[in-house]
Structure 1
């Protein structure tokens, strides 16, 4: 049984549901706040996740960051050397999806030359009648940028654990590949 630790950056525009996702995941679905205040800076949450189909686990140090550019200089220091990333957008807000390019560029600038596993997350699927970003479009964008993709509704408690299970599996796979490389050198 292997226990890994991973620094997980949660990024995206303001009001896309990053804090709601982090809180719901951290509390195993027991804590959905109806009234959120804008995250100022960074909130850190820690939670372990079992890696599917193994006896291993990954302890995520989840950095829930503010979506406002105002905080971006402060965030850059805290964002150094991430292990995994979770990029969140609102399926009812095309600008939040378009800005994923900017967020991904900022995140990847913190780890030049290093493969960082990641997932693109479309939130607020409960607002189907207001949806403007189609699943296929987001899926294609994620694939083009080397990310996994999933959708959820934190409000309806649907699929909110999926991004972290995907990240645990990706991070574990990366760990196994590094161990194999190390053993091949010995």
Structure 2
């Protein structure tokens, strides 16, 4: 399973899902002009999927140089307990080191699947409030 990377734009809410496919990378870079939040999803049963998270984060940070972009790293497929290779602590530490929140889910079991969207919505709302306050301070 490939790593997924989602980005949000501020004026309107757009979700871009690359499905971890390199073929979409160039197209996404054009769409990522000014992302405001991100969500990187990896497969807890696939070490390469987790490693690809760093690649996607680096691509995004290169695109948005000098701007802090809040986001979340999401471990998916937690229902596959016996096949897990990426431990929660390892992923959580990586996320924290990279300024991201962390959560896990199982889409198959419909377990905690809403968490990343709540995290992203909260980040998006915080950015909106900050920009409104900035605008009001200029008026």
TM-score (norm 1): 0.65
Which of 72, 92, 108 is equivalent to 1:139? 92
Q: Which has the higher helix share?
A: 2
75-84 or 88-97: bigger deviation: 75-84
Cα shift at 1:127? 0.2
* Deviations 1:135-183 (CA, angstroms, capped at 9, x unpaired): 1111111111010100000010011111011111111112222333333
Q: Which runs of 5+ in 2 are unaligned?
A: none
2:132 corresponding residue in structure 1: 179
Check the 8 A contact 1:82/1:110 in 2, yes or no. no
CA offsets, 1:52-108, max 9 Å, x none? xxxxxx963211114222332232212222221110100011111111111100112
Q: Which residue does the alignment assign to 1:63?
A: 16
> In the alignment, what sits opposite 2:43?
90
- Computing the radius of gyration over CA atoms, which structure comes out larger, 1 or 2? 1
Which sections of structure 1, spanning at least 5 residues, go unmatched?
1-12, 23-57
SS of the residue 1:86 aligns to:
strand
Asked if 1:158 is matched to 2:92, the reply is no
Match of 2:30 in 1: 77
SS of structure 1 residue aligned to 2:110:
coil
Instruction: Within 5 Å, give how 1:8-27 maps onto structure 2.
Output: 14=2, 16=3, 18=4
**What is the root-mean-square deviation of aligned Cα atoms in Å?**
2.3
1:168 pairs with one of 116, 121, 128: 121
Cα deviation, residue 185, structure 1: 4.0
- Take 2:23 and 2:121, find their aligned partners in 1: how far apart are those partners? 31
Corresponding pairs, count:
135
